[in-house]
Structure 1
């Protein structure tokens, strides 16, 4: 069965809201919401298909776009490759040129709409930022909390509280304070035993590779409303993350790092190859910084994750 190549757009307005459209009841997956787009014609480039589909469906002209995520999905009756682009600039006023209802919704509200199963990773990618801050080791608690506060004030919207040198009760105390600093501004991801899950309802959970190996066969440990992420380094670990039903992963190390000098870097080409076989958002980690976002997007990643490169000075 030939995979149908479909281009789709996460169209972001100036206020950050995202445009979605409702499928006609007569269509495949009718009545569900979707990201506008359509089939890439034989011999047509993806960029040309994106421009054509949005012109035909919404009456707009694309002026700024970039790759966001590629998602392969097998329905019982067809196989599709969703080639998703973020559209951050366009001219014209979007309207349902084919009579389809439209809605502008905040990234947070996307989770409340019913999308086809194949769209779930796109919903995650549309809601996630392109930078993921991981807290450095060896900081005193006040220093760590000040840094988180400063980073969030500076626009960081996804924070992992990583403190492997902290004993458990101290980490839990810091987690409570960090959750307060992030509330309403950034998504906090915690690390630790899954027994703690019930104690931090607003936080997402970032699993270690060891936890992935231990728990993947049991499936997702909590409902879709909470973010679940995992640290991956190999194709095998990515497969386990898929099995567990994660929302996103970090893939590392892309390049050599001071923190893990013995780890063999994947390199950009191998990282891109691993991302191509995975259907959820991926943050590239290890020897990368904010200046590598563009390269990460071209490799198929959601963005970049980092420790020192993202930690605010002073």
Structure 2
């Protein structure tokens, strides 16, 4: 056997490091960015935190010592706002409008998006553009035509006491569903186009109908965007007040956003009471957001890691 002489192995090249000046520049830029984001976050949070702080303070104390003082804490503002604004009735009104409108919007928009993304036909993009175009028109431009249309549509009196869609929860549900369906269909169609067609081909081989493919195959895969859209829809429809003032005529049917107007006095306004009412009004949307926070964030970040 011949001995093989050991050959000196070449040392691995040392990793090249970026110049010190470049590293310092990147670090400085990142710090400036962090400081900027912190300042923007504080500026945005200041009105919210200020309203929350004043909601726990007595008006008599703040009128004497000023709003910049510390003290006078009480919980009476929340009970007074609840009773004076008739929040129980108006919370129920908002739930009657918001829940069916959100469900109807997600169902209809997912159907439109499924057809646009799954099938290829002549008016494919034109159909999606027609649904999306409704979001480009300002609601004020359609106020008079929609008001006259709803006034002329006759419905049974068990649907509306006025005999028309005016002063009816159904009319408010329909208008909110119509205006939100286009945006949701646009978002869902872009996501459904990323679903592999092989899944639908396998479903066709197994004999699944189109309706079954939409319900049992597509909707479970679209859970993140549906959760994200549900969070946005609850916020938009829950806080919507323009169409409520136009289509509703009875004060006892107005949504929760109208309750804040009941907290304003004729000669002066107790801003501590108004702050407490605003906190109560914002609680449902906050609960929905934190309940769907994980799905909401995942729905917003879909496709960001695809290269």
Please indicate, yes or no, whether the TM-score normalized by the shorter chain is above 0.5.
no
Q: Which TM-score applies when normalising by structure 2?
A: 0.21
Q: Which TM-score applies when normalising by structure 1?
A: 0.21
Relative contact order (C-alpha < 8 Å, sep 6+): which is higher? 2
Which of structures 1 and 2 has the bigger CA Rg? 2
